[in-house]
Amino acid sequence: MAAEGRRANRNASDHGCPDLEDNHMSTPVVTMRQLLESGVHFGHQTRRWNPKMKRFIFTERNGIYIIDLQKSLSYIDRAYDFVKETVAHGGTIMFIGTKKQAQEAIAEQAARVGMPYVNQRWLGGMLTNFSTVHKRLQRLKELEELDFDNVAASGLTKKELLMRRREKEKLERTLGGIRDMSRVPSAVWVVDTKKEHIGISEARKLNIPVVAILDTNCDPDEVDYPIPGNDDAIRAVGLLTRVVADAVAAGLMARAGAGRGGDDKPAVAGGAEPLAEWEQELLEGSAAPAAEAPAAEVTEAPEVTEVTEAPEATEAAEAAPVAENDAEAETAQADDAEQA
């Protein structure tokens, strides 16, 4: 009972403290537990790291760097707000991720919010030479209008149609994700900055902001809006890419006049997979300061005590056994008198 009372008092103090109300008015973009369950905190081996990432590293465990997820949460919020504002003002976000772990998430989340994406091979000049790329997009649309099954109506031979079909398939594979893009994007979302260094270089030449996952072997100076995290695990990449897609969706809603300020930050669903013991300690350690802070500011209410009985009820309860004892004494005296 006492523990429940203290827990209730602590929850009440959380809601009653003005500072906490300001910090938790909106739904969090993602929770610490979701990051842990997705493996966002796992970095590379200690021998494969960039010293510039030192400020984002929490500790080292079994030869693997562990990323500070408290900083990841704050950088996620910052990137979320930037993407949302960019899209709300009419901008577009290009999703870039050509490694196998990212291809599916990049295509799925970008298509969900109607944004361009590149998940196969990055063609040099996709940004810096977009006029030429745009011509190839026009060629792709021309090939899509051909009826490859009707040889007579096409006016082409079977061999020519076969060559056109192969050209169309190649263009779809490399440019299909940007087929509706008419200009360079307002910003880019990148998974694995080392693998996508050509795309990042082109974006920086055009002063296009870069939002990217930063693993422990990456250079943070190349990214404008970094998110410290694991860029190799499928679940981690999928979670962070979905967060960016949710920011795009929130920006589209705001652009359409349906935004609700901070209330449109959806929490990304996470699995219920159990955490390792040290990961659970990390989670509890991050939650401890937040739980202790309000208790220090707000005086804890007295613990729930047992209900005190009314004085009359107490006296009646005490008098009952006394009366029974008196009755027994009188009966004993009457028996003695009869025997005498």
Cα 202 from Cα 225, distance rounded (Å): 16
**Which residues, 6 or more positions from 29, have their beta carbon under 8 angstroms from its beta carbon?**
76, 77, 80, 243, 246, 247, 265, 266, 267, 268
What residues pair up with 188 in beta bridges, in sequence order? 94, 210
No. of helices (H) and no. of strands (E), the chain: 12, 8
Q: What is the pLDDT of residue 214?
A: 93
Q: What is the pLDDT of residue 320?
A: 44
Q: What is the pLDDT of residue 26?
A: 56
Closest CA to 92 of 197, 226, 227, 245: 245
b/e burial code for range 324-338 (CB count within 10 A of at least 16 → b) = eeeeeeeeeeeeeee
Cβ atoms of 245 and 110 closer than 8 Å = yes
Q: What is the pLDDT of residue 285?
A: 60
Determine the straight-line distance between the first and last CA of the chain, rounded to whole angstroms.
60
- Describe the crossing of helices 69-88 and 234-255 by its angle, rounded to 10 degrees: 30
Q: How many CB atoms neighbour CB 49 within 10 A?
A: 18
With vertex at residue 330, the alpha carbon angle to CA 329 and CA 331, rounded to the nearest 5 degrees, is 90
Strands (E), the chain: 42-45, 57-61, 64-67, 93-96, 117-118, 187-190, 210-214, 225-228
Three-state secondary structure call for residue 253: helix
Three-state secondary structure call for residue 96: strand
Strands (E), 186-255: 187-190, 210-214, 225-228
List, run by run, the mean pLDDT of 10-residue segments along the chain (340 residues): 43 38 57 90 88 90 91 94 94 95 94 94 92 91 79 74 88 90 94 95 96 93 94 93 95 76 45 52 57 44 42 43 46 46
Q: What is the pLDDT of residue 300?
A: 44
